[in-house]
Amino acid sequence: MCGLLGFLTSNGTTPDAVAAVDSAMHCLRHRGPDDHGTWHDDDIVFGFNRLSLIDLEHSHQPLIWGPPESPDRYALTFNGEIYNYLELRAELAEKHGATYRTEGDGEAIVAAFHYWGADAVRRLRGMFGFAIWDTEKRELFIARDPFGIKPMFIATSANGTVFGSEKKSILELGPLLGISDALDPRAIEHYTVLQYVPEPETLHADIRRLESGSYATLTPGTAPRVTRYFTPKFDVRPFAPGTEAARYREIGAALEDSVAKHMRADVTVGSFLSGGIDSTAIAALAIRHNPKLITFTTGFERQGYSEVDVAAESAEAIGARHIVKTVSPEEFANAIPEIVWYLDDPVADPALVPLYFVAKEARKHVKVVLSGEGADELFGGYTIYREPLSLKPFERLTPGLRRAAARMSDKMPDGRRGKSLLNRGSMTLEERYYGNARSFNDAQLRAVLRDFRPEWTHQDVTAPIYAQSLGWDPVTRMQHLDLFTWLRGDILVKADKITMANSLELRVPFLDSEVFRVAEQVPLEQRITKDTTKYALRQALEGIVPGHVLHRAKLGFPVPLRHWLAGPELFDWAHQQIVESQTDHLLNKPAITKMLDDHRAGVSDHSRRLWTVLVFMIWHGIFVEERIVPNIQEPAYPVAL
Q: Is the pLDDT of residue 306 over 90?
A: no
Query: 212 among the known binding-site residues?
Result: no
Evaluate whether residue 640 is within a structural domain.
no
Give the CB-side neighbour count of residue 301, counting CA atoms within 13 A: 8
Query: 221 among the known binding-site residues?
Result: no
Domain co-membership, 194 together with 303: no
pLDDT of residue 1: 64
pLDDT of residue 435: 83
Domain co-membership, 433 together with 349: no
Evaluate whether residue 573 is within a structural domain.
no
pLDDT of residue 304: 66
Q: Is the pLDDT of residue 371 over 90?
A: yes
Evaluate whether residue 373 is within a structural domain.
yes
Do the strands 368-370 and 269-272 form a parallel or antiparallel pair, or are they unpaired?
Answer: parallel
Evaluate whether residue 555 is within a structural domain.
no
Please give the helix or strand (H or E) that residue 388 lies within, else none. helix 387-390
Q: Which residues of 527-558 are buried (b: 16+ CB within 10 A; e: fewer)?
A: bbeeeebbbbbbbbbeebbbeebbebebebbb
The whole-angstrom separation of Cα 271 and Cα 433 is: 32
Q: Name the pTM for this structure.
A: 0.95
Evaluate whether residue 315 is within a structural domain.
yes
Domain co-membership, 324 together with 463: no
Domain co-membership, 343 together with 210: no
Domain co-membership, 302 together with 172: no
* Reported confidence tier of residue 555, pLDDT bands at 50, 70, 90: low
Lowest-pLDDT range of 98-112, 358-372, 487-501, 539-553: 539-553
| Helical packing angle, 244-262 and 277-286, nearest 10° | 70
The whole-angstrom separation of Cα 375 and Cα 280 is: 12
End-to-end CA distance of the chain: 14
Q: Is the pLDDT of residue 303 over 80?
A: no
Q: Is the pLDDT of residue 136 over 70?
A: yes
pLDDT of residue 556: 58
Peptide bond into 291 cis (omega under 30): no
pLDDT of residue 357: 96
Query: 129 among the known binding-site residues?
Result: no
Count of residues making up the chain: 641
Domain co-membership, 370 together with 391: no
Mean pLDDT of the chain: 94
How many domains would you assign to the chain? 3
- pLDDT tens digit sequence for 423-464: 888 889 999 999 876 678 888 999 999 999 999 999 999 999
CA torsion 592→597→599→600, rounded to 10°? 150
pLDDT of residue 142: 98
Domain co-membership, 448 together with 498: no
Evaluate whether residue 99 is within a structural domain.
yes
Domain co-membership, 103 together with 176: yes
Lowest-pLDDT range of 281-295, 487-501, 624-638: 624-638
pLDDT of residue 194: 94
* Reported confidence tier of residue 401, pLDDT bands at 50, 70, 90: confident
Where does a domain end: 524, 550, 576?
Answer: 550
Q: Is the pLDDT of residue 628 over 80?
A: yes
Largest CA distance in the chain: 76
Domain co-membership, 131 together with 35: yes
DSSP per position, 432-477: H-S-S-----HHHHHHHBTT--TTS-THHHHHHHHGGGTTS-HHHH
The whole-angstrom separation of Cα 476 and Cα 485 is: 14
- Tell me, yes or no, if 27 is annotated catalytic: no
Domain with 408 in it: 387-474
Where does a domain end: 474, 509, 533?
Answer: 474
Where does a domain end: 499, 530, 550?
Answer: 550
Evaluate whether residue 629 is within a structural domain.
no
Residue type at 489?
G
Average pLDDT over residues 261-266: 94
3 state SS of 252: helix
Task: Select the more confidently predicted residue: 283 or 454.
Answer: 283
Q: 342 φ, ψ to 5°?
A: -65, -30
Q: Is the pLDDT of residue 640 over 90?
A: no
Q: Residue 180 is part of a domain; what is its CATH number?
A: 3.60.20.10
Average pLDDT over residues 113-142: 98
Q: Is the pLDDT of residue 105 over 90?
A: yes
Closest CA to 512 of 255, 263, 283: 255
The percent of residues above 90 in pLDDT, for the chain, comes to: 82
Check: CB of residue 313 under 8 Å from CB of residue 552: no
Q: Is the pLDDT of residue 113 over 90?
A: yes
pLDDT of residue 418: 80
Check: CB of residue 47 under 8 Å from CB of residue 38: yes
Domain co-membership, 545 together with 519: yes
Domain co-membership, 373 together with 467: no
Average pLDDT over residues 127-143: 98
Domain co-membership, 452 together with 496: no
Lowest-pLDDT range of 169-173, 549-553, 631-635: 549-553
Cross-strand pairs, 295: 271, 322
Q: Residue 529 is part of a domain; what is its CATH number?
A: 3.40.50.620
* Reported confidence tier of residue 559, pLDDT bands at 50, 70, 90: confident
Catalytic residue among 1, 2, 310, 327: 2
pLDDT of residue 353: 94
pLDDT of residue 235: 81
Evaluate whether residue 628 is within a structural domain.
no
Q: Is the pLDDT of residue 291 over 80?
A: yes
- pLDDT tens digit sequence for 407-427: 888 888 776 888 888 888 888
Check: CB of residue 196 under 8 Å from CB of residue 493: yes
Q: Is the pLDDT of residue 305 over 70?
A: no
